[in-house]
Structure 1
Amino acid sequence: MVQRAINDHAQSGWEFYRSDTYGVAVAPGCLGALFAAKHEYTQYGVLTFRRPSA
């Protein structure tokens, strides 16, 4: 899936630059806080591309 995204962008003139993973903590809403819900943690993968300037 990642390789396909890189190949598709390369065909459009974009160069793969880097890949990062970001962790995010989401606080519970007001009802969750009433029931002592904890933060939920999730991670997002981000691909960065660059295009040569003309």
Structure 2
Amino acid sequence: MDKRVILSIKGNQTSFDGQNNSIELITEGRLYTKENKYYILKLRTYKSGYVP
């Protein structure tokens, strides 16, 4: 199996003063199997929800 996939990784962080921050990482990738194990290979990265 070898498939192109879109990965979406979301994270949340709470600081010591109680402020919540979240970020989402969206990237292209490949999902493939090798020796009966699944692997994900990240290809490109796009940021959303990121404010510098």
Q: Structure 2 length normalisation: TM-score?
A: 0.39
Q: Which has the larger radius of gyration?
A: 1
- Identify, as 1 or 2, the structure richer in strand: 2
| Structure 1 length-normalised TM | 0.38
